[in-house]
Amino acid sequence: MKHLLLIAALLGATQAHATREVYNFNPGWRLHVGDAAGAESPTFDDVKWKAVTLPRAWNEDDAFAKDIVDHSTGIAWYRKRFTLPNDVTQRKVFIEFEGARQAAEVWVNGQRIGLHENGVTAFGFDLSQVVKTGENLIAVRTDNRWDYREQATNQRYQWADRNFNANYGGLPKNLRLHITDKLYQTLPLYSNLGTTGVYVHATHFDIPAGKATITAEAQVRNENASPQRFGYDVTLRDTTGRVVATFKAPAQTVAAGATTTVSAKAPVTGLDFWSWGHGALYDVHTTLTVNGKPIDTVVTRTGFRQTEFANGMVKLNGRVIQLKGYAQRTSNEWPAIGLSVPAWLSDYSNGQMLASNANLVRWMHTAPWKQDVDSLDRIGLMQAMPAGDSEADVTGRRWEQRMEAMRDAIIYFRNSPSILMYEAGNRGVSAEHMAEVKAIRDRYDPHGGRAAGSREMLSKALQDVAEWGGEMLYINKSARRPLWATEYSRDEGARKFWDELSPPFHKNGDGPPHKGQPAPSYNHNQDSHALENVRRWADYWRERPGTGTRVSSGGVNIIFSDSNTHHRGAENYRRSGEVDAMRIPKDGFFAHQVMWDGWVDIEKPRAHILGHWNYDAGRLTTASAMAAAHMLEQDLTFVGRTLKTVTVISSADRVLLTLNGKPVGAAAASEPFVFNFPGVAFEPGELRAIGLDKNGHKVCEDVRVTAGAPAAMKLTAQTHPQGLQADGADLALVQVEVVDAQGRRNPIALDTVKFTLDGPAEWRGGIAQGPGNFVLARELPVEGGVNRVLVRSTTEAGVIRLRAEAAGLAPATLELRSQVVKVAGGLSARFPADGVAPQSARGETPATPSLTVSRIAVPVAALEAGSGVPAQAIDDDETTAWTGKGPLRLRLAEAATLSEITVKLGGWRERQYPLRINVDGQEVWRGVTPRSLGYVTLPLKPHRGQNVTLELTGEAQGGAATANTEVANQKIVDTGAASLGRGVLSIVELELYRQP
């Protein structure tokens, strides 16, 4: 009886409650791996199948245990029984899948409902004709074969790729059930349903005043047998429930069986605009009324922000922002789980990106799942959204598949404030294809303030149609469209390896060859990996907004977290992350935190000492021991004492280093953000780096303290903000540390930890270097004194105890209590994101400028040379170049005292040019240009003049283009060096500057 009452309470048993109901459809599934004849039938016996709560990939155990190419594939079935109320046959019932991998064929009560095959986007089905009052049965047959082919065309999906798209098969994303009146607002699920749902957008922004005009439009369908006259009311609420605004549309009539679009708008004041690190969100309630009574309400969570993409820059809420962040695999996966983590853990993981001061995530190759999109809305992290692609522009049915995925993703995500860009391809696409993507955007999201572009798109012709672009590896600049690097810094390194002086004493770069060539770049220690990240970002930072007319709009580092995808290093997964697979930071995380703390210019100076301060202190010699015993004030001599170059990453002007309160030295940056202190002799205690401004005032600091010998284990848990939920899908993230007697983590501990789990929970474990990567193992080592494990709830609430022990150390015990989650008839009114609140780590958009103009580009009035097309050296088109043997002469629009020249030279990565630059006949620079990943800046001796000459003083140095193991397609890395003679000067673009 109690069970029936609970179902009634959840579902509503009478027509009096017949407004829209939305239910979490994740509970109560059964899973079978393999095909099963007749499994679609309600009478099929599935009692021996595994009970699971969605989202759940059937091959989740493979995550990080296997190389991506070895992920398990094939058929898996999911079945579920669910109960519907008495009036359901007079209403509409829809099911919403956030996605499936790869294909999902659906039956309800034995009747085939339909098929979805693209493996990426959300989809839905109308169940109204097949469901019944009382118990129903849904069965889903999934197929995640790599070579799956679309049934109607026999065409493979280009994004089902063993390189980058980790194959977590089955139903790894959330499901919802919707019950509505027959007059209803449609769902944003174009695949199968062909509907577009609600669209909310803002125009006429006044950012300082907090004003904008808000429009809410809804697609409305009438499946009654007669015309219906209805009203349309809009209520805007903040996330506390406070009403911010109400407005409505005039009543209108929709014919029987017809679909229409209704819209209402109003100017709204007092708005809190969504921004970087500021998840300001609103719930927009759109309600259909008949005779003044509400019959259908949809709640759309969204946020409002203003964007601009022009002059080579991106503006958010009127403020210039240089893009900085990560090209992250859409799987965003965790060991032994895959992508199917709870919403709070998505916020934690994505929040770590924000904590590193990233402002943008470029999801790679395929559209993200809704949970990650919603997460970035909540934390305030911009995103660029692809649809589905591989590594090239395509034609025919493959292009149609991509555009169908793009259409579906735009419709599904167009209310997300964090999505600022749509990506047409992971390589450049044709102008015609780019125009097609923009047409889809303009049809379904004409007012969302989102730019459509693609990787590359560098030529003038392509920039006429693309609204953003940028190469994968190199630095691009533009005065027109924002150009940003889409996946730079591809090096790899394990978190286990601090440096060559720390256990396990890994020699930097030591590892297996890649494609038959040495691969030190893919087997870094933490210190060298962090330095590589710093050097790569410095290339974009030098060309940031404020440094001229043509600027770099930034770039995203590939990747944020170690990923179970294509790899080049020693492990069978990619270790390019700034955090490891359990989201434990590496030194690169903190290096980015230093470099990226600002919209453009550095706003908060920071310092980070690379590594730790636990080394071999050596032993006293006999003479020194005697001196110490007599308290003599003299230097003591140690045998075996560690000497180390201490490196500090800082945005300060100078850094002072002290050891136990005594000065070690002060240094200026040896290269951007890098301060080195060579030959520091280790002694236990406190190592402190103090960042100073130009006036010698302290602006930041970082400290390392020597930890004592390992003494004990320590356990710390992170869970849902409301506690661990007993829904069979929630997770606890448990950190284990080896600490000294004072509770400080020992950073060089590598102890093996044995875990014991008791209570209603499932062990999912962690990851470490070793056999099978220790995935699912109950015993695994800490690395650098720390590791993490995952524990999953069951559907039984209760007390869970986790014990960690290691030889010679005091054990630790952690107690968790999972909370009851109400489920009735297979449905729940509690959703995975309930209780997960928006965050504001950085606050609203500052009203101050984000940059200081550091140099001003001097216009060129004319160019001449004895050969080639001189104008191509300043045409803002990086696909053209002036190439010639004689000098290049430029006449400035007016006389100026030049301070610098920035130039992109042909063959920039391989080639160096002996060059002389004159201003009105006076030599202002002579030397050999350095190799680069794009642009080099040459300082000029001050000399006022109007005529500038650039000429070779000898033959160019360096060979032709060399093979590069970073990418499979060598055309991507080609700089044109192979086509250039040694006696020619080649200039892709140049810009001359004066001081402001």
CB 406 within 8 A of CB 431: no
Q: Mean pLDDT check: name the lowest of 341-345, 389-393, 433-437, 857-861.
A: 389-393
Nearest to 371 by CA among 333, 408, 324, 325: 333
Helix axes 587-595, 526-542, angle to 10 degrees: 20
Tokens of 209: 């005043």
Q: What is the pLDDT of residue 18?
A: 59
Residue 214 has pLDDT above 50, yes or no: yes
Whole-number Å distance between alpha carbons of 373 and 370: 5
Please enumerate in sequence order all residues whose Cβ is within 8 A of that of 544, keeping only pairs 6 or more positions apart, or say none: 322, 551, 552, 554, 600, 601, 851
Residue 636's pLDDT band, with cuts at 50, 70 and 90, is very low
Note if the bond before 504 is cis, omega within 30 degrees: yes
Element (H, E) at 883: strand 882-884
CB 878 within 8 A of CB 989: yes
Distances (CA, A) of 602 to 261, 402, 691, 852: 47, 39, 14, 10
Percent of the chain's residues with pLDDT above 90: 92
Q: What is the pLDDT of residue 958?
A: 85
Using DSSP's 3-state secondary structure scheme, residue 191 falls into helix
Nearest to 460 by CA among 961, 989, 996: 989
Nearest to 143 by CA among 203, 186, 101: 101
Mean pLDDT of the chain: 94
Tokens of 408: 């579906």
CB 592 within 8 A of CB 531: no
In this prediction, residues 909-930 reach a mean pLDDT of: 96
pTM, full prediction = 0.95
CB 678 within 8 A of CB 684: no
Relative to beta strand 323-329, strand 554-557 is parallel
Pinpoint the alpha helices (H) of 469-586: 526-542
Residue 481 has pLDDT above 70, yes or no: yes
Q: What is the DSSP string of 480-497?
A: SS-B-EEEE----B-TT-
Distances (CA, A) of 768 to 65, 396, 527, 779: 10, 45, 19, 10
Q: What is the DSSP string of 751-782?
A: -EEEEEEESSEEEEE---SSGGGGTT-SEEE-
Residue 391 has pLDDT above 90, yes or no: no
Strand ranges (E), 241-379: 243-254, 259-268, 282-290, 293-302, 307-310, 313-316, 319-321, 323-329, 360-364
Q: What is the pLDDT of residue 668?
A: 97
Domains within the chain, CATH numbers bracketed? 2-182 (2.60.120.260), 198-302 (2.60.40.10), 307-386+411-427+444-601 (3.20.20.80), 619-705 (2.60.40.10), 712-820 (2.60.40.10), 856-994 (2.60.120.260)
CB 767 within 8 A of CB 335: yes
Q: Tens digits of per-residue pLDDT, 129-181?
A: 999 999 999 999 999 999 999 999 999 999 999 999 999 999 999 999 999 99
Q: What is the pLDDT of residue 13?
A: 37
Nearest to 31 by CA among 62, 75, 90: 75
Tokens of 811: 């054990």
Task: Tabulate helix, strand, coil % of the chain (nearest 5).
Answer: 15, 40, 45
Distances (CA, A) of 485 to 422, 478, 493, 753, 935: 15, 12, 21, 41, 13
Point out which residues pair with 248 in neighbouring strands.
233
- Cβ burial 852-875 (10 Å sphere, 16+ → b, else e): eebbbbbebeebebeebebebbbb
Whole-number Å distance between alpha carbons of 359 and 377: 12
Q: Mean pLDDT check: name the lowest of 275-289, 635-649, 868-882, 886-900.
A: 635-649
Tokens of 592: 């980015």
Q: What is the pLDDT of residue 473?
A: 86
Whole-number Å distance between alpha carbons of 30 and 934: 54
In this prediction, residues 502-524 reach a mean pLDDT of: 95
Residue 474's pLDDT band, with cuts at 50, 70 and 90, is very high
Tokens of 464: 């006429």
Please enumerate in sequence order all residues whose Cβ is within 8 A of that of 51, keeping only pairs 6 or more positions apart, or say none: 28, 29, 30, 31, 728, 795
Tokens of 84: 């519907």
Residue 653 has pLDDT above 70, yes or no: yes
Residue 218 has pLDDT above 70, yes or no: yes
Residue 976's pLDDT band, with cuts at 50, 70 and 90, is confident
In this prediction, residues 668-688 reach a mean pLDDT of: 97
Whole-number Å distance between alpha carbons of 578 and 560: 5
Whole-number Å distance between alpha carbons of 125 and 356: 41
Residue 621 has pLDDT above 60, yes or no: no
Residue 625's pLDDT band, with cuts at 50, 70 and 90, is very low
Residue 701 has pLDDT above 60, yes or no: yes
Q: What is the maximal distance between C-alpha atoms in the chain?
A: 105
Residue 886 has pLDDT above 90, yes or no: no
Q: What is the pLDDT of residue 960?
A: 54
Residue 968 has pLDDT above 70, yes or no: no
Q: What is the pLDDT of residue 794?
A: 98
Residue 15 has pLDDT above 90, yes or no: no
Residue 620 has pLDDT above 50, yes or no: no
Note if the bond before 559 is cis, omega within 30 degrees: yes
Query: What is the side-by-side strand order in the sheet with 712-718?
Result: 712-718, 731-739, 786-793, 761-765
Whole-number Å distance between alpha carbons of 776 and 766: 7
CB 743 within 8 A of CB 773: no
Element (H, E) at 649: strand 643-650
Residue 109 has pLDDT above 80, yes or no: yes
Using DSSP's 3-state secondary structure scheme, residue 708 falls into coil
Provide the Cα torsion 513, 517, 521, 523; round to 10°: 10
Provide the Cα torsion 538, 543, 547, 551; round to 10°: -150
Class of residue 42 by CB neighbours under 10 A (exposed 0-12, middle 13-18, buried 19+): middle
CB 907 within 8 A of CB 876: no
Q: What are phi and psi of 82, to 5 degrees?
A: -145, 155
Residue 95 has pLDDT above 80, yes or no: yes
